[in-house]
Amino acid sequence: MQAIASIADISRAYPTAEVRPAGSALSSTLVPQGPSNVDFEGVLTEALSNVNNMSNHAGEQVRALAAGATDDLHGTMIAVKEAEIGMKLVGSVRNKLLDAFHELWRTSV
């Protein structure tokens, strides 16, 4: 499993759908063509843990700045913003999953 170390890696870890050329059946243009051995649960867990690390790192930087132990203004601002964006990305995925689940649940058989 590829190690996810930054926000760029998180977005790369979610394979996007490929659009097939015209002439293929409608269903096949909508089928995602990513690698079939992707462990989605593993990807999500690893993304969560990386976002957690980013969050902790940002928290450490902020505490150090508050105590006067560091002079790094822009580094702290960047770390905090990165952690916030990572958190929102994961939150967004979780919301989409929940919405999809609710939609499936409501499907009458």
Residues that bind another protein (CB under 8 A): 56-57, 59, 62-78, 80-81, 84, 87-88, 91-92, 94-95
Judge whether 23 and 48 are in contact, CB under 8 Å.
Answer: no
User: In a 10 Å sphere around its CB, with 0-12 CB exposed, 13-18 middle and 19+ buried, how is residue 38 labelled?
Assistant: middle
CB of 109 to another protein, least distance (A): 29
CB of 61 to another protein, least distance (A): 9
CB of 54 to another protein, least distance (A): 9
Rounded CA-CA distance 7/47 in Å is 9
